[in-house]
Amino acid sequence: MKKWIALLTACAGSSGKFESYVKNGDYQKAAALYSDKIAGNSKLEIEAETFLTQYLQESWDSYESGKTDDETLDGVLRTLENLCSQTGIWLDLFEVEYQHETLRASRASFAEAEASMQAEDYLTAIRQYRAVSPDDEDNYATAQNAI
């Protein structure tokens, strides 16, 4: 009975450390822990992959809502890319990276349009408002109304 308790405690500790390393951006430690303690244990592998998927979604949601900035999301994506390349874990990072670049460009266009309006450079403002993506929920309606 003590062996099972020790094994369960070690497994739970591995998952917690893995999550902590990922959240702190230390993909090398996370990858080493994954290879040493998690890989080969299907329950822990599922927990790790579930955590990574949720962490990616939570990070995107936080960025999309404006709670975190580009630099923060870039750090999360770099960490996950490096971790996945070292461990063979598959996450659909391409879609999030694409959405991130689209939203980043849209927000930049909106900011430039607003600055152009203030400078009374209406032609540039209209061009920049047109570049605002429909996926940019915070700015799209305002940009469309300004055009």
* Interatomic CA distance for residues 93 and 109, integer angstroms: 24
Share of the chain above pLDDT 70, in %: 90
Tokens of 27: 């993909």
pLDDT at 66 over 70: yes
Q: Identify each DSSP E strand in 53-129 by its residue range.
A: none
Tokens of 107: 């927000």
Q: Span 71-95, mean pLDDT?
A: 93
If we measure between CA atoms, which residue out of 11, 84, 96 comes closest to residue 47? 11
Give, rounded to a whole angstrom, the gap between the first and last alpha carbons of the chain: 71
Q: What is the pLDDT of residue 7?
A: 35
Tokens of 76: 């999360």
Q: pLDDT tens digits, residue range 104-114?
A: 999 999 999 99
* Interatomic CA distance for residues 104 and 110, integer angstroms: 10
If we measure between CA atoms, which residue out of 27, 135, 17 comes closest to residue 76? 27
pLDDT at 87 over 90: yes
| Residues in contact with 49: Cβ distance below 8 Å, sequence separation at least 6, in sequence order | 89, 91
| Residues in contact with 144: Cβ distance below 8 Å, sequence separation at least 6, in sequence order | 129, 132
User: pLDDT band at residue 15, thresholds of 50, 70 and 90?
Assistant: confident
User: pLDDT band at residue 13, thresholds of 50, 70 and 90?
Assistant: low
Q: What is the pLDDT of residue 130?
A: 97
What does each C-alpha distance from 36 to 26, 30, 32, 75, 127 come to in angstroms?
16, 10, 6, 24, 54
Q: What is the pLDDT of residue 94?
A: 87
- Alpha carbon dihedral 62, 116, 141, 104, in 10-degree steps, equals -30
Q: What is the pLDDT of residue 6?
A: 33
Q: What is the pLDDT of residue 11?
A: 44
pLDDT at 9 over 60: no
